[in-house]
Amino acid sequence: MLAELSFDDFKDHTGRTFVVEGPGGRVEATLVAVRLSPYGSPGLLRRHPFAILFTAPPTPDLGAQVYNIRHPSRGLLEGVLISPVVPAAADLPKVQGLRFYEAVFA
């Protein structure tokens, strides 16, 4: 199912809450951005690579590992690698007290 996901599956859900489930429990995360990769040739790949970016509360701190995500329309997405990332310096004043997490789909 992950191989079938595309940019279009997420682009209209910016600002919505997703539930991220893993060994440490459940975390509500807000989808803040969906970005197409500038590198990837749709003609050579099954899909154009893209990334999704979430914000979440500071605790629990999600480490880089595989999680399940509950998607508003696609349901449970199992086995998504999510990694913590550092927000852009310009965004730091707006996101005090939040953590950023990214999943990349190549």
- The reported pLDDT for the residue numbered 42 is 58
Over the chain (106 residues), the average pLDDT of each successive run of 10 is 89 96 89 88 72 94 94 92 88 81 94
| Residue whose tokens read 């050579």 | 44
Query: Is the separation of the CB atoms in 24 and 67 below 8 Å?
Result: no
- Whether the model pTM is above 0.85: yes
CA dihedral 96, 76, 102, 106 (to 10 degrees): -170
Maximum distance among all Cα pairs of the chain, rounded to whole angstroms = 41
- The reported pLDDT for the residue numbered 93 is 72
- The reported pLDDT for the residue numbered 97 is 87
- Mapped onto helix, strand or coil, the DSSP state of residue 20 is strand
- How far is CA 20 from its chain centroid? 9
- The reported pLDDT for the residue numbered 105 is 93
Terminal C-alpha separation, the chain: 14
- The reported pLDDT for the residue numbered 3 is 85
Q: Which amino acid is at 27?
A: V
Beta 17-22 vs 65-71: how paired, if at all? antiparallel
